[in-house]
Amino acid sequence: MGRIVVIGAGMGAMGAAARLAVAGHRVTVYERAETYGGAVRRYERDGFRFDTGPGLLTLPAVYRDLFLKTGREALEACVELVQADPSSRHLFADGSAVSLPNASRAGVMAALDAGLGAGAGDRWGDFLVRAREAWDRTRRPLLEEPLWPNWRVLAGREPYPSVPHKRVLRTRRAGTLAEVGAWELRDPRLAALLESHALGHGLDPRTAPASAAVLPYMEHAFGTWYVRGGLRELATALYERCLARRVEFAFGAEVARVREKDGRASGVELADGTVVEADFVVAGVAPGALERIAGTARQDAEPAPRGGLPSRLTVLLALRGARPEGTAPRTVVHTRDRDGELTAVFGDPAAPRTGRTGDSGLTATAPGGGLTVTVLRPDDPATAPDTAHEAVTLTATVPAGSPAGAAASEALTEALAEELTGAAERAVPGLRDRLLWREVRTPADIAEVTGAAGGAVPAPALAAADGRQLHPANSTALPGLFTVGGWSHPGGGLAHAGMSGALVAGLIVEGPDFRGSQ
C-alpha cells in the first residue's frame, strides 16, 4: 500500500491516520508541537486539571465508529463516557432559570413549562420537530459525504421548514436563526436558549441560516457527554489507538512545504530541510498554514466562512470547597445585553465584511452584563486534588485576535477575566470567597496551539446562506493532497473533525468513487 504523510496531530488528523493505517498504508504524522490532540489540551496545576479546549462531547457515535473500525476495543473500553445530567442549566437575564434533562423531549418540554411558563415547552417541542426535518434533509450530504463539485445544492434551498409569519402586509419565513427565535419561539428566553447554541459554535445568530437549528437538535437527539478525566483522555485514547496500528509520530517536526512532482503531491519538506517522500499528503492545518506550505494548491471548493472569525476566552478557576451535590455539569449564564454582545463579537451585520479577524474590537463591559458565559463544573474527582476542592472552567466567545491577542494589554485581558468571573457568580454563589487562583487562556494561546490566525475557531458547516457556512472540500486542486480537521469539510467541532477523518480516509482508500461513510 501507499506511504502517507499526515501534517498535524489534531483529532481529525489522528482519526484519518488510524483509519488509513488499518487499510494497510504506512502512515507518519508530523506535528510541530510536542504533543498530540490539537486544541484538545489540558492544563494542570496544584492537583487541578482542566480541559482547555472543548469540555463536552456530542455525537459520540462518530468516535464509537472510529474505534470500532480501527481495532478490537470499543470506545467505552478506552474511555469512560458519562451522560451529562442535566444536559444544561440556563440562567436568563430576567432572573428566571431552567435545567434541561439530557436527550428527553418530553422532559425538556416539562422543564420549560415549569421554569418559563405554560406554552414554552410546546413551542420548543414544535421547534425541535422542525429542526429534525432540517437534520434529516442535510445529515448525509452535509456530514457523511465528500463535498462534491455540485456543492451549490447545499447553498441554495433553506432546509429548515420555517413557519409562515405575518409581518405588516407580507407573509415571511424565517431565514436566520434569530428570526426563528423571534417569530417562532416568541419568548426572549427561548430565543436566548436557541441563540446560545449558535454563539457557542462561534456563529452570529443574526446571520446564521435557519438551518443552524440542527445544532440544538443534535444535542437534544444524541445527548451531551462527558469523558471521565476530561476530553484530553479521548485524545490520548485516539493517540494510543494510532500507535497500536503502527502509525508513527514525529513531534517538534514542522512541515515547511508540500512537495510536488509530475502535477501531484509527492511528500513534504520539513523546516530542518529533511525531505519525506509520500504517495499522499493529508494536511490537518489552519487555512493560513495550508497556504504557506502548499502554495497555490488550494482547496477545490469555493465556500469559506466570511467576515471576522470568532475565538474563545477561557478562565480556569481553582476553588476551595466541595462541588455541591446536584450541581449541573454545565450552566449557561445569558448576557443581559444581547445586541451589545453580538455587535461586540461579530460587528454590525449590515456593515461590509472585510474577512479579517479582530475587526469588532470587543472591550470590557459591566461584569455579567456583556458576554454569555458557559460554566463547566464536571462531577469528576480527577479534576481536583481532593473532594474539598473544585475545578471550574468559564468560556465565552470573543473575536479572533481581539481583545486578548498577543497585542492586547494585560489590563484588558484581566478586565475580561473579571467579567467572566462576575457572570459566573450567578451560577456559583460565593465564588470569589472560594477562589484560590485563576488562569486565563486567550485567543493568542489558541493561535499558538493550533496555528490559526488570531486564535480563530472554526464553526460547523451549515446548509443554505449561499454557501457562506460551508467549508472547503477535503480534496484539493493538487492531486494527492487532502485536508482534514475543522477548517475543511464538514467544519469545526469534535464530532465534525472526526467525520472529516473518515471522509479523507475513504477518498484515499476508495478513490474518487467514494460516496461517503456508511
Q: What are the sequence ranges of the domains in the chain?
A: 3-44+57-78+228-304+461-513
Per-residue cell: 386: 481532593
> Domain 3-44+57-78+228-304+461-513 - what CATH class?
alpha beta
Q: Between the ranges 60-74, 362-376, 392-406, where is the mean pLDDT highest?
A: 60-74
Per-residue cell: 166: 405575518
Helix, strand, or coil here: 509?
helix
State the first-to-last Cα distance of the chain, in angstroms, to the nearest integer: 23
Backbone angles phi, psi at 149, to 5 degrees: -55, -25
Residue 403: the pLDDT is 47
Per-position b or e across 145-168, b if 16+ CB within 10 A of its CB: bbbbeebeebbeebbbebeebeee
d(CA 7, CA 254): 8
Are 322 and 390 a contacting pair, CB within 8 Å? yes
Are 310 and 346 a contacting pair, CB within 8 Å? yes
Cβ partners under 8 Å of residue 136, min gap 6: none
Residue 437 pLDDT exceeds 60: yes
Residue 365: the pLDDT is 43
Beta-strand ranges (E) seen in 59-206 are 81-83, 88-91, 97-100, 165-167, 170-172
Helix, strand, or coil here: 435?
strand
What's the Rg (C-alpha) of the chain?
22
| More confidently predicted of 25 and 305 | 25
Per-residue cell: 264: 501531484
Map grid coordinates 470547597 to a residue: 321
Greatest alpha-carbon span in the chain: 68
d(CA 458, CA 455): 10
| More confidently predicted of 302 and 270 | 270
Across the chain, mean pLDDT equals 91
Residue 389 pLDDT exceeds 90: yes
Per-residue cell: 367: 461584569
d(CA 284, CA 469): 19
Residue 367: the pLDDT is 39
Residue 152: the pLDDT is 83
Residue 279: the pLDDT is 98
Place 517 in a pLDDT band, splitting at 50, 70 and 90.
confident
E strand or H helix that includes residue 39: none
Averaged pLDDT, 353-370: 46
Residue 402: the pLDDT is 55
pLDDT in tens, 455-476: 999 999 999 999 999 999 999 9
- Work out the percent of the chain whose per-residue pLDDT is above 70: 92
Residue 366 pLDDT exceeds 70: no
**Of 145, 16, 24, 64, whose CA–CA distance to 517 is shortest?**
145
Per-position b or e across 278-302, b if 16+ CB within 10 A of its CB: bbbbbbbbbbebbeebbeebbbebe
pLDDT in tens, 277-331: 999 999 999 988 999 999 855 544 455 544 568 999 999 999 999 999 999 999 9
Per-residue cell: 259: 512537495
E strand or H helix that includes residue 484: none
Q: Within 10 A of 33 (CB to CB), how many other CB atoms are there?
A: 18
**Of 28, 510, 507, whose CA–CA distance to 255 is shortest?**
28
- Work out the percent of the chain whose per-residue pLDDT is above 90: 82
**Of 141, 119, 261, 251, whose CA–CA distance to 190 is shortest?**
119
- Dihedral of alpha carbons 465, 471, 474, 478, sign: positive
Residue 428 pLDDT exceeds 80: yes
Residue 406 pLDDT exceeds 70: no
Phi-psi region of 190 (alpha: psi -120 to 50; beta: other; left: phi over 0): alpha
Cβ partners under 8 Å of residue 369, min gap 6: 335, 336, 337
d(CA 309, CA 292): 20
Per-residue cell: 355: 474577512
- Dihedral of alpha carbons 238, 240, 244, 249, sign: positive
**Of 76, 213, 105, whose CA–CA distance to 158 is shortest?**
213
Averaged pLDDT, 155-175: 87
Cβ partners under 8 Å of residue 230, min gap 6: 42, 49, 50, 51, 55, 378, 380, 382, 383
Residue 376 pLDDT exceeds 90: yes
